[in-house]
Amino acid sequence: MEAFLFWSCGALMVLGGVMMVLQRSAVVAALWLVFAFIAASGVFAVLHAPFLAIMQVLVYAGAIMVLFLFVIMMLQGPVMEGERKRMALPLWPAAAIPPLAVLVLVGAWVSQRTPEPLRTALPDGFGGPRDVAAALLGRYLLAFELISVVLLVAIVGALALGHGERKAS
Amino acid sequence: MHSPETQTVVQESLLRWIVLLPLLGAAINGLLNRRLPRAAAGAVACGAVGLSFVLSVVAFLRLAALPAGERLLADIVAPWLGYGPLRVDIGFALDPLSAVMALVVTGVGLLIHIYSLGYMSHDKGFQRFFTYLNLFIFSMMTLVLGENLLMLFVGWEGVGLCSYLLISFWFNEEANAAAGKKAFIVNRVGDFGFLIGTFLLGVTLLPHLEPGEGLFSFRVMQHHAHVLAPVATVIGLLLFVGATGKSAQIPLYIWLPDAMAGPTPVSALIHAATMVTAGVYMIARMNFVYVLAPTAMEVVTIVGAATAVLAATIATTQNDIKRVLAYSTVSQLGYMVMACGLGAFAAGIFHVMTHAFFKALLFLGSGSVIHAMSGEQDMRVMGGLAKKLPITFWTFLAGTFAIAGVFPLAGFFSKDEILWKAFSSDGGGVALWLVAFLVAGLTAFYMMRLVVLTFHGTNRASQEVRHHIHESPLSMTLPLVVLAVLSVAGGWIGWPAFLGGSNHFEHWLAPVFADGGHGAAAAAHHGGEALAHGAAAAHGAADHAGDHGHVALERGLAAASLAWGLLGLSLGYLVYSRRTKVADTMRGLAGGWPYRILLNKYYVDEAYDGAIIRPGFRFSRTVLWKGVDAGVIDGLLVNGSALVVAVIGSLLRLLQNGLVRFYAWSFTVGVAVFVVYLSLKG
Amino acid sequence: MPFITDHILSWVTFLPLAGAVLLWTVVRREGPARWLALGVALADFVLSLHLWFHFDAASGVDQFVEHAAWLADGRIAYRMGMDGISLMLVMLTTFLGPLVILSTWRAITERVAEFMGFLLLLQAAMLGTFFARDMLLFYVFWEAMLIPMYFIIGVWGGQRRLYAAVKFFIFTMVGSVFMLVGILWLYFQAGSMDLAAFLSLHLPRAAQLWLFAAFFLAFAIKVPLWPLHTWLPDAHVEAPTAGSVILAGVLLKMGTYGMLRFAMPLFPEAVTAFAPAVSVLAVIGIIYGALVALVQPDVKKLVAYSSVSHLGFAVLGLFSLTPLGVAGSLYQMLAHGLSTGALFLLVGVIYERRHTREIAEFGGLAHGMPRYATLFLVTTLASIGLPGLAGFVAEFMILFGTFNSGTLAHGRLLAVLAATGVVLGAIYMLWMYQRVFLGRRDNPKNEGLADLNGRELVVILPLVLFMFWLGVRPGLVLDRVEASIARVLAPLGVEGAAPAGHGHGALEAPAADLPAGQGQFVFRNAEMR
Amino acid sequence: MTVTLNHCLGLAAVIFVTGMAGFIVRRNAIVMLMCIELMLSAVNIVFAAFARQHADAGGHVFVLMNFAVAAAEAAIGLAILVEIYRRRRTVDVDELKTLME
């Protein structure tokens, strides 16, 4: 059961990613990405991270991607229509080889490793909100604080950019 | 070796005030400047120098009260340079030599200060002038009273600075400013040699010093003089380079005639009576080095003699009254330097003193003339001033006779002594005597020419100038009279033995010039031996006392030089007062070339300009600045390497094409390469 | 106030930094910014006076030491200390600080707070450089100096300010990078960034040669030693007056200070090997700088080239490898800081009035501006080494030391050649003075120029005063640096650096062992000291 | 077939490379940002897998941190894009070569 869920969710996620890359239209690409994120949430669930699974849907699929869609809609025009020109044909191999090489190499490296089955004996409530919260506000308090700083900076930055834009126009 | 501490030296705090009072005066005048009324400024300046003179007399009397072998007063004020074994103090010392100089400097200085009250009374830079003048006295006294060679150097540079300031006093004229700068720079060239000589001296002495001994202190140097023997020649020559700058000897005499751009009292004080004699003083002060260096002495003698001739010949053709006197000064300085070169330091200093009297007199007299002529300095438009300026004329005449060596005026004694030394010393001889003799005649000739052109005949000036001619005020004539008296009688203290005198002057200086060690330093240990030795040396190496044949010879030579001087005077009178055609004929001699060469001062200035100054500037501008700096270093190396960087950069720039996707692609390539590397590494 | 005195070095260093931060954040208005900057600089000077009065001159070791672990388990630490050498340069820095700020009162009208902030930041970095006894700390301060100077030239400079700023930056950067490599190499050898640990290393000769070259390049560019000097005239000409003063007054001394503090004691063998070559470069710099200064049409450029010449003396003194020459070199740093700093201030004064520095534009200025002309003359004379003023003492000691150098081949010849720089100095300075101040006031634009006002007098008079003071009483400085210099030179095994010789070695009180009471007068007795 | 840790890593690698390739081939800046989000997700999976393997919630914390980074990046990136679009009327990175100068 676990294996089935893992592989199906994983496959769906890859599908979502590939489709996103191949789409010409930005809107459709965004929707495919949402699809991939929901699949990712499934992967998290398989990996005994229920809290993450929920957050993935809420934050990623829900908030971030909506932001993307908003922007795409707002800009409209060429963004909606996607790219007019395709990449020149001779460049395709050049563009494809390095990622493929990375994939092959990483794959080769991963396959070298002695396979160890995922641990099944997990403490109660592992990956649940309580557990994550304990880690987040305990050992990783500093990381938590850093997150808040990063977000604060992002807010200020976004505001500054938006503000400057209004002034310019 | 015994350190000089064991010896008694009288601490005399008076000395510092002799030096500092003029500085105080300069400070007051300099800081208050125009806020001080003229009368007060003049009073401050003259008061400071006057007090300084009085103190000098007091110090002199105290010095004279000491036994002959121990005449040394010292005043160490504070340590100056102290680092490791190097110890130099701010200190002053008074010995018979510096006592003479101090009296001359403050005495003549005071007279010239008083004279300036009248001469500068209408100048708007009155306070500034007296500031500089006081500053000069301060520097000169530091030079004279300095306890060590570096203190002497402080004064040495200080008087150079004051000379610069005073020559370019009327700086509105570009020429005056240029003359001042020239004086300072030429002096600096001399100082370069002086400084190197000082280094060599210090380096040689340093390992031999005992604890607490100040390097460069004259006493210490004299005490250890024997260790200097191997390098004495080099030191002597290097120091002499400094003296050629300050005392206007070949090849650095060129600044002195130009220095006449300054106000006339300045010419009298600095460029005749005091500062220019500093070189002579320095050589005399360093006599213990020079006696170890016969070669250096020879050079000094030759340079002195050559300068005396060169300047005297030029002086016969100049038309500017002050320039004649300037070249005359150069010539007389040559005399003094020559005397020092012959080992006759006392004779040199004697001439320094008498020269100070009569040359100051002559310059002040010429100042009085210029004052009367509304600033005119060209003798060709003067004439007939004798009646209108009687005091000036008579005092000037006294000065002229003194410099011409007419018995019994001051110049006779000092000049005759030098002539005798030129004849009789080891370094001298008949040839040298003839040269000096020739110069004496020339001197008489050109001085008489000056007197005749200025005071005789009819006045050749314009109506307006002639209308304003008047005798100078008392403040100017009084110093003239005093100096005239000194010019007449000032030589009597050196009345020589062969004329029945006892030459007090030479005896007074004898301990300073005692051979092979300071009289005082030696006295403590060698007792009377050194004294006897010193006394013997004082009479000159060749002059074995009591030799009757020599006395007769001396008398004969003196008579000859007196006659020769009178002949020169008469010739000058005849040529320029009556038969002016003779002068024209002389001018036209040999196609006029000799005259033109003399008139243009042998073209030395032009030669320096063409051979050194212009090429130097051209080299600096075209080769060094535009060539090396802007061309090679900045152009080739700096901007060249910038160019290389730019080429590499533009190659790299092909990669940096601004395509974000290309960057991402390269990034991926990099990751792939890195993974390969990791896997290969295992 | 033990709160301050226990960490006095940190206080002195970081007080200006705090002022800079205030200026960049809170105090933004022109007037208050000026007063704040002046106040901070003055306070820093007052603090540094504590150093002056509580410094133990008899000891050459670092004093007021501070230590706090910083990185890598304390192998890299915040180590501060001060010996006599640092003391002098620190006093010079804090002394110039308020004067420089006062000099910009009217000259800088744009972005005043930023400018003042940069000045204070620069001061903090310079002070830190003099105090740092940890190589990484030193390097941080060293590089930190670049930034404010870059902006001071690049933002408030003249027409070609960007070219000059970039040139300055790149020149200095290139040198420092090599030094950083050297420092890191030494760090891995010594296992600590402590200067003392570096000093106790015994490096093989080959390593010394390379490391010396790396360090020396950084310092030689900063000095600047011929032929690495071409950034200096550009930087000086383009920099605002205050920048030039700091640059000439203190920043250039970083080079000679670095040589003395690091390059020389760390690599004694290399120093002996390189000394002949370096001293030849120094002498070339002396003469070359003077000759090129001779033909400059721009006053500021002339003074800049004179700096090349003067600092050639400083380098020559260092590499004479005699205590006397080194002390003279340190003295030259101070004297040059005063006289050239004052010259730049004075040039700034006339630039403010006429907006040109071309010598040909001037002439006869002494007529309307007597005070200005007088002070300019005094400064000029100090610069050309007139006895009684500071420059003479320095030049004399350097030349005498070089002349007396036992280790330097051809020391005498070099001293003689270098002494020609003294003559040339008089020529270019007096010729410039003559063209600017003397003669007729032909150019109508030069009429009606105001003489120095009260503020300008307050800026320049202290400098002039100290030129005299240092000229007459060099003991003030020399007594305080003698032990320190002996200690720094000890690794070189220089003759006379250790207490030896004729019983008046560096560390002994010279007067104490004299037989007293022998006669009425003893040369140099104890009371006079 | 039991799921091993290697499987998780392989899946993550595939997804990551997909995002990487997308970043290279796409010219629409917004899509490129989305590719970055995809790559971040791949990393998140690795974190979650190791967290489970070590029974340590620390991995989860870092995933959360990544969320925040992703959100911040999206916010700033999109804001910049909007600004660029306002000025240049395009979000085609091939036409935005200003990085070059």
DSSP C159: T
Chain A residue with minimum CA distance to D79: A158
In angstroms, the CA C133 to CA C81 distance is 6
List chains adjacent to chain C, taking adjacency as at least 3 C-beta pairs closer than 8 Å. Answer: B
pLDDT at B517 over 50: no
User: In this structure, what token pair is assigned to residue B221?
Assistant: 């140097």
The architecture that CATH gives domain A1-77+89-112 is Up-down Bundle (1.20)
Residue C374 lies in a domain: yes
Range C299-325 average pLDDT: 90
Residue D80: give the domain boundaries.
Answer: 5-88
As beta bridge partners, residue C298 has C358
Contact across the interface for B675 and A94, Cβ inside 8 Å: no
Helix (H/G/I), strand (E/B), else coil: C202: coil
- Angle at which helix B430-455 crosses helix B410-424, to 10 degrees, equals 160
**Cβ atoms of D80 and A161 closer than 8 Å:** yes
Contact across the interface for B679 and A108, Cβ inside 8 Å: yes
Mean pLDDT, rounded, of chain B? 80
Residue D99 lies in a domain: no
Highest mean pLDDT among A35-39, B387-391, B517-521, C231-235: A35-39
Q: What is the CATH number of the domain that holds D58?
A: 1.10.287.3510
In angstroms, the CA B55 to CA B103 distance is 10
Contact across the interface for B82 and C475, Cβ inside 8 Å: yes
Tokens 């350097």 found at = C398
Give the type of residue at A102.
V
**Cβ atoms of C62 and C74 closer than 8 Å:** no
Using CB atoms, which residue from B171, B180, B620 is nearest to C366?
A: B171
Mutation target among B14, B83, B150 for the C interface, most CBs of C within 10 A: B83
Q: What is the pLDDT of residues C93-113, one digit of tens each?
A: 999 989 999 888 887 788 888
B672 and chain A: CB distance < 8 Å anywhere? Answer: yes
Distance from CA of C87 to the nearest CA of B (A): 18
Chain D residue with minimum CA distance to B665: D24
B675 and chain A: CB distance < 8 Å anywhere? Answer: yes
Query: What residue spans define the domains of chain B?
Result: 1-267, 293-595, 603-681
Q: Which has the closest alpha carbon to B585: B569, B449, B576, B567?
A: B576
On chain D, the residues whose CB falls within 8 A of the CB of A102 are 17, 20
Cis peptide before B408 (omega within 30 of 0): yes
On chain A, the residues whose CB falls within 8 A of the CB of B665 are 94-95, 98
In angstroms, the CA C65 to CA C81 distance is 4
DSSP C109: -
Contact across the interface for B171 and C167, Cβ inside 8 Å: no
List chains adjacent to chain B, taking adjacency as at least 3 C-beta pairs closer than 8 Å. Answer: A, C, D
Distance of CA C268 to the CA centre of its chain: 23
Distance from CA of D58 to the nearest CA of B (A): 27
Give the type of residue at B495.
W
The contacts found for C370-376 with CB under 8 angstroms, 24 or more apart, are: C370/B33, C370/C451, C371/C451, C371/C452, C371/C457, C372/C346, C372/C451, C372/C452, C373/C437, C375/C342, C375/C346, C375/C452, C375/C460, C375/C461, C375/C464, C376/C343, C376/C346, C376/C433, C376/C436, C376/C437
Residue C137 lies in a domain: no
Q: What angle do CA B646, B651, B652 make, to 5 degrees?
A: 95
Using 50, 70 and 90 to split pLDDT, how confident is the model at B536?
very low
- % of chain A with per-residue pLDDT over 70: 85
In angstroms, the CA C52 to CA C58 distance is 13
Chain B residue with minimum CA distance to A108: B679
C2 and chain B: CB distance < 8 Å anywhere? Answer: no
Residue D73 lies in a domain: yes
Higher-scoring residue by pLDDT: B557, B131: B131
pTM of the model: 0.76
pLDDT of residue C444: 80
pLDDT-wise least confident of A96-100, B214-218, B634-638, C171-175: B634-638
Tokens 């001080």 found at = B36
- % of chain B with per-residue pLDDT over 90: 5
Residues 533-562 of B with CB under 8 A from C: none
Chain A residue with minimum CA distance to D53: A119
Name residues whose C-beta falls within 8 Å of residue B434's C-beta, 6 or more positions apart in sequence: none
Q: What is the pLDDT of residues B648-680, one digit of tens each?
A: 766 666 665 656 677 777 888 888 888 778 777
> What is the total count of domains within chain D?
1
Residue C180 lies in a domain: no
As beta bridge partners, residue C69 has C77
pLDDT of residue C191: 83
Query: What residue spans define the domains of chain A?
Result: 1-77+89-112, 128-169
> What is the total count of domains within chain C?
1
Q: What is the ipTM of this complex?
A: 0.67
B102 and chain C: CB distance < 8 Å anywhere? Answer: no
Q: How many residues does chain B have?
A: 682
Residue D101 lies in a domain: no
Residues 624-663 of B with CB under 8 A from C: 624-625, 628-629, 633-634, 637-638
Chains D and A touch (3+ CB pairs under 8 A): yes
Distance from CA of A131 to the nearest CA of D (A): 7
C235 and chain B: CB distance < 8 Å anywhere? Answer: no
Q: Which has the closest alpha carbon to C481: C12, C53, C9, C58?
A: C58
User: In this structure, what token pair is assigned to residue B278?
Assistant: 């500093």
User: In this structure, what token pair is assigned to residue A133?
Assistant: 């919260």
A108 and chain B: CB distance < 8 Å anywhere? Answer: yes
Range C345-370 average pLDDT: 84
pLDDT of residue C500: 35
Residue D100 lies in a domain: no
- By DSSP bridging, strand B86-94 and strand B73-83 are antiparallel
Per-residue b or e along B436-448, where b marks 16 or more CB atoms closer than 10 Å to that residue's CB: bbbbbbbbbbbbb
Tokens 């009367």 found at = B372
Cis peptide before B67 (omega within 30 of 0): no
Using 50, 70 and 90 to split pLDDT, how confident is the model at C497?
very low
Q: Which has the closest alpha carbon to B347: B357, B337, B356?
A: B337
Using CB atoms, which residue from C370, C519, C523 is nearest to B76?
A: C523
Range C478-490 average pLDDT: 86
Q: What is the dihedral of CA A33, A35, A38, A44, to 10 degrees?
A: -70
Q: How many residues does chain C have?
A: 529
In angstroms, the CA C55 to CA C484 distance is 12
A95 and chain B: CB distance < 8 Å anywhere? Answer: yes
Contact across the interface for B672 and A102, Cβ inside 8 Å: yes
pLDDT of residue C169: 82
Q: What is the pLDDT of residues C121-138, one digit of tens each?
A: 999 999 999 999 988 899
Give the type of residue at D61.
V
Contact across the interface for C292 and B80, Cβ inside 8 Å: no
Q: What is the pLDDT of residues B49-69, one digit of tens each?
A: 999 999 999 989 888 888 877
A104 and chain B: CB distance < 8 Å anywhere? Answer: no
DSSP labels for B488-518? HHGGGGG--GGGT---HHHHHHTTTT-TTS-
Contact across the interface for B185 and C423, Cβ inside 8 Å: yes
pLDDT-wise least confident of B107-121, B449-463, B610-624, C245-259: B610-624
Q: Which has the closest alpha carbon to C206: C267, C264, C265, C258?
A: C267
pLDDT at C504 over 50: no
Contact across the interface for D97 and B657, Cβ inside 8 Å: yes
Residue D95 lies in a domain: no
pLDDT of residue A36: 92
Using CB atoms, which residue from A7, A40, A116 is nearest to D5?
A: A116
Using 50, 70 and 90 to split pLDDT, how confident is the model at C520?
very low
- Angle at which helix C146-156 crosses helix C161-190, to 10 degrees, equals 180
Distance from CA of C367 to the nearest CA of B (A): 8
Interface contacts (B, C; CB < 8 Å): 203
The contacts found for C183-189 with CB under 8 angstroms, 24 or more apart, are: C183/C135, C183/C136, C183/C139, C185/C211, C186/C135, C186/C211, C186/C266, C187/C135, C187/C136
Using 50, 70 and 90 to split pLDDT, how confident is the model at C355?
confident
Chain C residue with minimum CA distance to B153: C387
Contact across the interface for A102 and B679, Cβ inside 8 Å: no
In angstroms, the CA A5 to CA B24 distance is 105
- By DSSP bridging, strand C63-71 and strand B73-83 are unpaired
In angstroms, the CA B636 to CA B643 distance is 9
Rounded alpha-carbon distances, angstroms, from residue C137 to C80, C128, C141, C193: 9, 8, 6, 9
Residue C291: give the domain boundaries.
Answer: 274-487
pLDDT of residue C363: 79
Chains C and B touch (3+ CB pairs under 8 A): yes
A101 and chain D: CB distance < 8 Å anywhere? Answer: no
Rounded alpha-carbon distances, angstroms, from residue B70 to B102, B226, C423: 19, 21, 40
In angstroms, the CA B315 to CA B442 distance is 9
On chain B, the residues whose CB falls within 8 A of the CB of A94 are 665
pLDDT of residue A139: 87
Mutation target among A105, A132, A148, A152 for the D interface, most CBs of D within 10 A: A132
pLDDT of residue D1: 62
On chain A, the residues whose CB falls within 8 A of the CB of B668 are 98-99, 102
Contact across the interface for C475 and B86, Cβ inside 8 Å: no
Q: Which has the closest alpha carbon to B540: B499, B509, B500, B495?
A: B509
Chain D residue with minimum CA distance to B652: D100
Using CB atoms, which residue from D9, D17, D49 is nearest to A99?
A: D17
Name residues whose C-beta falls within 8 Å of residue C159's C-beta, 6 or more positions apart in sequence: C238
Helix (H/G/I), strand (E/B), else coil: B80: strand
Q: Which has the closest alpha carbon to B78: B63, B89, B65, B67?
A: B89
Residue D23 lies in a domain: yes
pLDDT at B416 over 90: no
Helix (H/G/I), strand (E/B), else coil: C192: coil
pLDDT of residue B518: 38
Contact across the interface for B82 and C478, Cβ inside 8 Å: yes
pLDDT of residue B563: 80
